[in-house]
Structure 1
Amino acid sequence: MPAHQPTALNQGPGGTQELLTVPQVMARLQLGRSAVYDLLRTRQLVSITLGRSRRIPTGALTDFIHARLDQEAA
């Protein structure tokens, strides 16, 4: 299985991918909590679970935004 290589756009300090909380994603997308959880539930936005917490990789958020832009352009 090929390793996921994050692009410079997706990297935080030190070259590692940053994990965002749901409130951080809410602020970046300017959406409410329910809307973000709907995106996670329908797998339009990818997340990982750490204990009882959801974290969204910055790369997943970037991919989601690019996919939506491509849909709008079509």
Structure 2
Amino acid sequence: MWSKGKKRSKLGRFLDKEGYSQTELSEITKINKNTISKICNDSNYVPSGTTIKKIMKALRKLDSRLKPDDFFDL
């Protein structure tokens, strides 16, 4: 878990809440760990459409009701 005071994006907070690591998401989506880290820690960063699709495909295995708008300001 992250210590209090660290800035996290919506995706980062979701992963923390659900108990998943950035490394696990990186392995499942085949997205570089640095990119996943930037997405989880920088709420101003907007990933490419392809990256969002890969992340959403993985997250929908946890909950099919999740939408990109839940995590990204599109």
Using the size of structure 1 for normalisation, the TM-score is 0.34
- Which protein is bigger by CA-based radius of gyration? 1
Using the size of structure 2 for normalisation, the TM-score is 0.34
